[in-house]
């Protein structure tokens, strides 16, 4: 009973710390010499982006008629790294994988956390249940909780964990203390929700206006790779790979260049918002 009490007290304390920490500096304030609230000085520098190519190795992801998600995602991710390195000064870009390699979801988040990334971008392709799909367009996911019926994209992307060993020990919601862990992680992620949606909206505009792409919008879903990363993050479903027109676009040099250019412009605008 005592151990349970101590554990719950610890979780509650963490919860309060994260909630207070999620407040903007201007709302926390500090007392000046005259006793008036003054905004705290901020010294934030946007300097690291982690790009995650979804799936890989033994996990191919979704399939089209002649291509798969892991290959398309890696190609776009590598081109995006080159573009950001060439066009955005003062920003270090790190790939979670640069080859056809399977990397567990929590390790992808660890790479971002260990490098103190300021933005996490996960590249994926969508798919509909039919063998040859009719749905088209992009979808942008930020981490959030919604009803199971609204979580289909998250459920598909999260299915990668079942390839991993001991997944119940690694992921919130799949093992012991799931409810308590969910509270702590929800508070932690709430800190970055606004920035994630901000970046998602910037990218959504670029994809629709610059590329003329159909968009399913920015949605909140329980994507595990975003849940475990301690920074603003976005999972980009670049198109429906089982739709013939989208598959052709996603595999074309022009299509990938368009996607990279839209993400690049969104990154520039997002970075500028802090400066």
Of 262, 266, 239, 258, the residue nearest 127 (C-alpha) = 239
For helices 253-272 and 244-251, the axis angle rounded to 10 degrees is 70
The Cα 190–Cα 220 span in angstroms is 12
Q: Would you list the domain boundaries of the chain?
A: 1-43, 46-272
CB atoms within 10 A of CB 160: 22
- What DSSP designation does 63 have? B
pLDDT of residue 146: 57
pLDDT of residue 1: 43
pLDDT along the chain (275 residues), means of 10: 40 44 40 44 81 96 97 98 97 98 93 96 96 96 67 47 49 49 58 93 96 95 85 97 98 98 98 91
The Cα 150–Cα 139 span in angstroms is 13
Q: What values do phi and psi take at 7, rounded to 5?
A: -60, -45
User: From 3.30.565.10, 3.40.630.40, 3.40.640.10, 3.30.830.10, which CATH number describes the 46-272 domain?
Assistant: 3.40.630.40
Kind of pairing, strands 37-38 and 30-31? antiparallel
User: Do 275 and 43 touch, CB atoms closer than 8 A?
Assistant: no
CB atoms within 10 A of CB 212: 8
Residue 11 has which token pair?
A: 């979780």
pTM equals: 0.76
With H, G, I as helix, E, B as strand and everything else as coil, classify residue 126.
strand
Burial state string for 34-58 with b = 16 or more CB within 10 A and e = fewer than 16:
eeeeeeeeeeeebebbbbbbbbbee
The Cα 100–Cα 268 span in angstroms is 29
The Cα 65–Cα 62 span in angstroms is 10
The Cα 142–Cα 265 span in angstroms is 19
CB atoms within 10 A of CB 78: 19
């Amino acid at each position: 009973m005592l151990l349970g009490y101590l554990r719950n007290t610890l979780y509650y304390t963490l919860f309060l710390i994260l909630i207070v920490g999620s407040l903007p500096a201007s709302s926390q304030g500090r007392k000046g010499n005259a006793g008036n609230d003054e905004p705290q000085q901020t010294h934030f520098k946007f300097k690291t982006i982690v790009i995650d190519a979804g799936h890989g190795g033994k996990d191919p992801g979704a399939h089209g008629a002649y291509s798969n998600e892991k290959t398309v995602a890696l190609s776009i991710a590598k081109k995006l790294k080159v573009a950001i390195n060439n066009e955005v000064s003062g920003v270090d870009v790190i790939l979670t994988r640069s080859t056809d390699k399977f990397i567990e979801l929590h390790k992808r988040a660890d790479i971002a956390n260990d490098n103190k990334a300021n933005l996490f971008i996960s590249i994926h392709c969508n798919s509909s249940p039919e063998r040859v799909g009719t749905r088209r367009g992009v979808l942008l996911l930020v981490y959030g909780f919604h009803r199971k019926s609204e979580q289909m994209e998250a459920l598909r992307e999260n299915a990668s964990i079942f390839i991993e060993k001991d997944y119940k020990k690694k992921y919130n919601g799949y093992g012991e203390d799931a409810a308590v862990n969910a509270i702590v992680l929800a508070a932690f992620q709430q800190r970055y929700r606004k920035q994630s949606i901000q970046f998602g909206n910037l990218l959504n505009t670029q994809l629709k206006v610059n590329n003329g792409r159909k968009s399913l919008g920015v949605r909140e879903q329980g994507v595990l790779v975003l849940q475990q990363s301690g920074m603003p993050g976005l999972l980009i479903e670049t198109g429906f790979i089982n739709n013939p027109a989208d598959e052709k676009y996603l595999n074309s040099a022009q299509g990938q260049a368009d996607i990279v250019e839209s993400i690049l412009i969104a990154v520039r605008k997002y970075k500028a918002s802090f400066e």
